[in-house]
Structures are given as structure tokens and as C-alpha cells.
Amino acid sequence: MNNFIYENSTKVCFGKGCVKEFLACKLKSYGNNVMLAYGGNSIKKNGIYDEIKKILDAEGKNVIDFSGIMPNPTYKKVMEGAKLTKENNVDIILAIGGGSVMDCCKAVSLAAVYDGDIWSDYWEKSGVIYFEPLPLGVVVTVAGTGSECNGGAVITNEEKKIKTGRDYPKCNPRFALMDPEYTMSVPKLQTASGGFDILSHIMETYFSLTDDDNVSDDISEALMKSVIRNLPVAIENPNDYTARSNLMWSATMAENRIIKLGKACDFQAHQIEHQLGAYTDCNHGCGLAVIHPTYYRHIYKDGICKFVKFATNVWNISTEGKNSDEVAFEGIQALEDFIKQIGLPMKLRELGMTDKSILPEIAESCNVSPGSYGKMSKESILEILNECY
């Protein structure tokens, strides 16, 4: 294992009924003004909003709604939330939702107490947070990003056409309440795309140095197998508690920094998808599903040993009578077959993209990941995008 420093400040309450059991207790440490942040009306339709509002009312909390957080949260939406916190002297933000809601609220928690431009100072470049952001708690309703146990937030600047993420430990939620039953009303496509986002996070950590025997890779293989086993079950039977709970915790484990310890990490596929999303506002998990197999066919020869392990240890592919290239390639094909199985798109055209002429501009706007096995460039990214089209 390489050297590392580990820290995670988020306290997790996980399991059936955890919101009813722990939310009131968690809020006692903060003032009365609670900003309730969420996306659309889904939490009102499935009863989650009313359940949480009832708890807040019983505790005498003054609730300020911050709704309409979109799937790819924008800098404009962040500033709208920050303005609301200042106007209402908000004491704590309570984010209810998936990664987009949590990410937006992390940025809001920063902007709420910072007088400068958080985009230029903390998203366009990495900054140092020398102050305490507004406290944030989260109630997770979608398994996917794992945003509940880190300080990471991906924000889109629509004017500049830049979608970028930063991870600041000070932006970690103070607490995360995770009831797998809250994810049971998530539509099948969103379940599939969120599940693939989990798999993507794990793969992009796994397919990076170090390649020496290490605990992080061992955990990653177990997590990938769990996602591959449980995601089709959750899609087929949304009320399967075991599948939902395993997916929910796999998402957290993928992004609570544990599997990244001692790893270089390659988030090139995410870098490409982020800019794809900045230009087209496509579904994040669907975009990743299109990009990953093509990207891996470009780089597998540079990480052949790890790709062979992926094929044999994760997909149980036999090595008998095959060379390393053939085994590695079968592993990538197994990944592509899994994407088809869970009903996600295989090409950019299936995402609704009709204008191929914007691909060079998207490629040029992408960052190149230093953790990639392959020697990536703007030109190779454009090649990948063209193959994905």
C-alpha cells in the first residue's frame, strides 16, 4: 500500500426507519431555521416530504423550502440557495435527494458564508477553505453518487459551459440518514443510471496505479461484484430491500474515500461525461455508460494486468486457452453486455445528441486525467467521442 492520510467526518445512520429514529435528535444541536432542499415533486408524491416536515414541525423548526434543484445543478441555482439562507438566517441545510441535491447544497453551504465568488475561488480552481461552511445534513433518497459521505460537489457553470467537481472535507455533511426504503420509488431508468454511476466510481479508482497487491483493489472488486449482482434485482423488483440496501451502501463505499487510499485514481471517463453534460445536459449515468467501454478499449493494453484481474475476479471469465489481450477484452465486453442488460444506452445518439459537430469543442474543453493508464490527449478524447457517437 502507498502512504495515505484518511479522514471522514460524516456520521451515518443507516437502515429502515432511521429518519424517524434519528432526525429530530440530529437537529437538536442547531438553531430553529432549517432550509429544506430538494429537487422536484417526487418526495411530495412518495410521502417523504410530509414525513420529514412532520418531524421538523414537532421539533418547532421554522422550515424554509429550497426546491427545484436540477439533475445537473448550476452555479445560478447555488447562488439562489445562498441568497435564501442569508435572507432567512438559516441555521442548517437539510438536503433531501440524490447526488445533485447534495452537491448543490454543499456549494450553497460554502456560498452562504463566503463574500467572494465561490466559482472562481473554489470551483474553477482548487482553493483553501479557512472558515466553517453552513452546517449541512442529508437524507439520501437515490443510490448513486455517494455524495453523502464526502465534500465533493459537481457544479455546472452554464455561461462558461464548464461542469466541474471539487472535494473539500469541510463540505462533508455533518450527518447522513440513509433508509433504503426511501429509494424504492426511484424509476427504473434512474435506478439503472445511478447504479452505473456507482460502478463507474469504483472502476475509475480500480483502474489506476498502484498495481501492487493492495487492500483498496480487493475492496473494489467486492463492491463491483455486489453492484453487478444487486442492480438487476433492484431494477426488476424495486421493493427488494436487500438489493436496495446493498446498492445504497456500495454507493457510499465507492466515494467515502476508503477505496481511494493509496490509489492514483483515474476519472477520465467522468471528465469526459462532465463536459458532455455541460454541453447537452444529458443524464450522468447514461453518459458514463456510453463512454466507459469505448474508453477502456483505448487504454486496456496500458493496464493489461489490471484488466485481466477485472475479467477474472469480477466477471469470472476463464483464462484457459486465451492470451492476456483476449481475457482483458472479454472483461470489457462483459461490462458492455451488463450495460445492455440494465437498459442503458450504448451510443450518444441514444442520448438524443443530433449535432456531431460539437464533439471537437467538447473534447477541447475536457481535462486530461493524470491517473489514466493510457496517455490521453484532446485528440484521443475526440476519437473516443466520435466512436461513442
Please give the mean pLDDT across all residues of the chain. Answer: 96
User: Does 258 have pLDDT greater than 90?
Assistant: yes
pLDDT at res. 1: 77
Mean pLDDT of 338-342: 98
Domain residue spans of the chain: 11-183, 189-388
In the chain, DSSP assigns E strands to 11-14, 33-37, 62-66, 92-97, 136-140, 152-157, 162-167, 175-178
Q: Which fold has domain 189-388?
A: Dehydroquinate synthase-like, alpha domain (1.20.1090)
Provide the pLDDT confidence category of residue 2 given band limits of 50, 70 and 90.
confident
Mean pLDDT of 265-287: 93
List, for residues 168-219, the tens digit of each pLDDT value: 999 999 999 999 999 999 999 999 999 999 999 999 999 999 999 999 999 9
Provide the pLDDT confidence category of residue 28 given band limits of 50, 70 and 90.
very high
> pTM score, two decimals?
0.94
pLDDT at res. 6: 84
**By C-alpha distance, which of 59, 43, 54, 50 is closest to 92?**
59
Rounded CA separation 154/201 (Å): 14
CATH code of the domain occupying 11-183: 3.40.50.1970
The percent of residues above 70 in pLDDT, for the chain, comes to 100
**By C-alpha distance, which of 207, 174, 186, 208 is closest to 28?**
174
Mean pLDDT of 250-272: 96
Provide the pLDDT confidence category of residue 40 given band limits of 50, 70 and 90.
confident
Provide the pLDDT confidence category of residue 92 given band limits of 50, 70 and 90.
very high
Q: Do domains 11-183 and 189-388 have the same CATH topology?
A: no
pLDDT at res. 4: 81
Provide the pLDDT confidence category of residue 354 given band limits of 50, 70 and 90.
confident
Contacts of 222 (CB under 8 A, 6+ apart): none
pLDDT at res. 375: 87
Rounded CA separation 176/194 (Å): 18
List, for residues 119-163, the tens digit of each pLDDT value: 999 999 999 999 999 999 999 999 999 999 999 999 999 999 999
